[in-house]
């Protein structure tokens, strides 16, 4: 069987795919640059799989391509390896819960003692959450004593760094995905109660608040640059955050608003995070 026959190739019109993608902020990857990530045997996907599943697969595929293209050094090397466990996480848990991949990063790099660099499967920036998939064979049967000690050091670094660590086994993700999702839902509920609902802010709103806290007053053009969106999208975002009380206008001009700054709600959010 040829390589093309072994892998599921999702072919859709570029315009339709961009409009229907569940992650509008994920750049669309042209067919010529797509990766064959979804093996028929691994995911048991038939030609008649649902339209929703097809869109999810393409969204994940595009996301991984973009992550690989933006990575450098050892992280780029890590992303070039087999990502089957990571794809299971994205497809069976993360996408069904969060609905998009905004705010997520694959093969997240963090430092350990002496400058040693560790990597995590999936990192969710808004909650500083690390989610991983561990296979039984590489993490149990083939684990050496030295490797085991290094892995314990890695887990301690996560705890010292204040990360919320959520591990799953490969078997759980394949056979009991609903149980895995319930665990994430429970964690999100606890975080919502303890953090005053901060997790309801999406990653772009958090990014805008961070930049505004560093620079004080900002313009709509600056907001667009921070969020990497056009002026219209930036205006909609800023207006929504003004309506929610995170941002307030600074009336410098007589008739038009030229500058914005954090409101009391935004300042309070920053103080709580510290």
Residue linked to tokens 């990014």: 207
**What are the residue boundaries of the structural domains of the chain, listed by start?**
1-68, 71-200, 201-273
Show Cβ contacts of residue 193 under 8 Å, excluding neighbours closer than 6 positions: none
CATH topology of domain 201-273: Arc Repressor Mutant, subunit A (1.10.10)
Residue linked to tokens 């993360």: 94
Residue linked to tokens 């806290």: 213
Q: Over 91-136, what HEC string results? A: HHHHHHHHCCCCCEEEEEEEECHHHCEEEEEEEEHHHCEEEEEECH
pTM recorded for the entire structure: 0.56
> Contact 45/37 with Cβ under 8 angstroms?
no
Q: What share of the chain is helix, strand, coil (3-state, %, to 5)?
A: 60, 15, 30
Tell whether domain 71-200 is in CATH 3.50.50.60: no
* pLDDT reported for residue 198: 52
Count the Cβ atoms, other than its own, within 10 Å of residue 64.
Answer: 21
Q: What is the pLDDT along the chain (274 residues), one digit of tens a residue?
A: 333 333 333 333 333 333 444 444 444 444 333 343 443 333 443 444 466 678 888 899 999 999 999 999 999 999 998 899 999 999 999 998 888 888 899 999 988 777 788 999 999 887 789 999 988 877 787 888 988 998 888 999 888 888 899 999 999 999 999 999 999 988 877 765 545 545 567 777 877 887 777 657 788 888 888 888 888 888 998 998 888 888 888 765 555 667 888 887 777 666 555 4
* pLDDT reported for residue 140: 81
The structure tokens listed for 163 are 């990360």
The structure tokens listed for 198 are 């901060």
């Amino acid at each position: 069987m040829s390589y093309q026959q072994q892998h599921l190739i999702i072919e859709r019109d570029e315009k339709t795919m961009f409009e229907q993608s569940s992650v509008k902020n994920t750049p669309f990857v042209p067919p010529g640059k797509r990766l064959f990530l979804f093996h028929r045997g691994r995911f048991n996907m038939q030609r008649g799989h649902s339209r929703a599943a097809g869109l999810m697969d393409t969204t994940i595929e595009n996301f991984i391509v973009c992550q690989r293209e933006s990575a450098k050094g050892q992280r780029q090397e890590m992303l070039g390896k087999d990502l089957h466990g990571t794809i299971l996480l994205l497809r069976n848990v993360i996408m069904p819960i969060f609905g998009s991949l905004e705010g997520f990063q694959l093969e997240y790099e963090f430092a350990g003692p002496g400058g040693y660099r560790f990597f995590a499967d999936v990192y969710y920036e808004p909650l500083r959450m690390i989610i991983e998939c561990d296979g039984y064979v590489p993490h149990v049967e083939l684990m050496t004593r030295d490797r085991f000690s290094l892995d314990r050091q890695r887990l301690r670094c996560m705890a010292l760094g204040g990360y919320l660590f959520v591990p799953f086994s490969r078997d759980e993700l394949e056979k009991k995905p609903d149980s895995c999702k319930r665990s994430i839902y429970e964690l999100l509920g606890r975080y919502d109660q303890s953090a005053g609902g901060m997790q309801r802010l999406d990653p772009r709103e958090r990014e805008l608040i961070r930049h505004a806290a560093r620079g004080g007053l900002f313009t709509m053009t600056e907001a667009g640059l921070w969020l990497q969106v056009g002026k219209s999208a930036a205006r909609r975002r800023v207006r929504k955050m003004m309506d929610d009380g995170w941002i307030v206008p600074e009336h410098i001009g007589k008739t038009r608003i030229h500058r914005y700054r954090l409101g009391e709600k935004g300042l309070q959010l920053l103080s709580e995070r510290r």
